[in-house]
Amino acid sequence: MPPLPLKTCRDLVPARKDSPLRKALLIVDVQNDFCPGGALAVPNGDQVIEPLNKMMGHANNKNGRILASRDWHSRNNKKHFSKWPPHCIQNTPGAEFHPLLQLPTRAFTISKGYTNEDDGYSLFEGVYIRKDDWPLSAGSLLYGFNEICVGGLATDYCVKATCLDAVKLGYKVYLLTDACRAVNLKPTDEADALEEMRQAGIIFTTTDQVISESR
């Protein structure tokens, strides 16, 4: 069978409402360019690293499913770079995960925003690129899960888009509020994003709470 066109991958993700309870962890875009000193730095973006490391350590001990997304833009993504300064260009240091982020080997790297038409805000637009094989949609890696925890950068863009897509796909979604930070182009953006997520049914929690409840 020839590879499916990438844009159709997200349509293949089934809504999961009836599977046994298993929480998956989604880490959104903790990349150098989104951290202080990067091309599109989120204020205090590096503060998400410590709680996310704790959360990943916990998930790893529980044999949990971990997906870590990265913006993975081509240099000539004119559409996306008309809205934002160039950032997270494929195979550059800015696109690498922050060196302090302790991604376990079991974590799947999800690449998003790699076509010139795609902003790639949501992790669910991304794919896991397999060696010598065609890519897997992010959603297919969550088959069998019905609850997910989300943290990373930035609250008012990629974290929000990921959470809202997850709700649409039928997941119960927990936002790790201590493990995300906002761009706040407008000072109210973070509050607006949180309100939109709250209205969509997303549950606000913290890494400590999730860890203590699942010991």
> Which residue in the list 23, 29, 88, 156 is annotated as catalytic?
29
31 vs 146, beta carbon nearer Zn ion: 31
Binders of Zn ion: how many residues, by CB under 5 A?
1
What x-and-dash track marks residues 38-77 binding Zn ion by CB under 5 A? ---------------------------------x------
167: enclosing H helix or E strand: helix 160-168
Give the span between the Cα atoms of 13 and 23, in whole angstroms: 17
List of residues 6+ apart from 47 with CB closer than 8 A: 181
Query: Residue number with the shortest CB distance to Zn ion?
Result: 71
95 vs 101, beta carbon nearer Zn ion: 95
Q: Does 156 bind Zn ion (CB under 5 A)?
A: no
Provide the 10 A C-beta neighbour count for residue 43: 11
What Cα–Cα distance (Å) separates residue 67 from each residue in 40, 163, 169?
22, 14, 16
> Which residue in the list 23, 71, 88, 112 is annotated as catalytic?
112
Q: Encoding tokens for residue 73?
A: 């833009």
Binding site for Zn ion (CB under 5 A): 71
Catalytic residue numbers, as ranges: 29, 112, 158
